[in-house]
Amino acid sequence: LTQGAILIQRQPFYVSITRYFEDDQREQLGNSEVEHAWDRYRGGLEYMIARTGAAIGAEERFGLHARIQQMIAARMAVAIRLRHANKRDPI
């Protein structure tokens, strides 16, 4: 944030190559990470908001925190679904 602005869009942009070799059986990092690292996402996003200082107003800051909560709730739902599908403890 000291170098420039961060753009947070409604539609995420993500590129992933899930299989390089046809017989390659590997798990996507995001799938395993979502099960236990959602708090890192929250912490990183909240850190970026904190770094903005007075550049954003209270109303915009509140809106950003609400969007972070929505994203984290969605990540947690995915984590529970993956843990259930893989017969692991959902908690």
Q: What pLDDT does 15 receive? A: 67
> So where are the chain's domains?
32-85
Mean pLDDT, residues 3-10 taken together = 76
- Cα(38)–Cα(79) distance, rounded to whole angstroms? 9
- Tell whether the model's pLDDT for residue 60 goes beyond 90: yes
Give pTM, 2 decimals: 0.64
pLDDT in tens, 23-56: 776 666 777 777 778 788 889 889 989 988 888 9
- CA pair distance 24, 12, nearest whole angstrom: 27
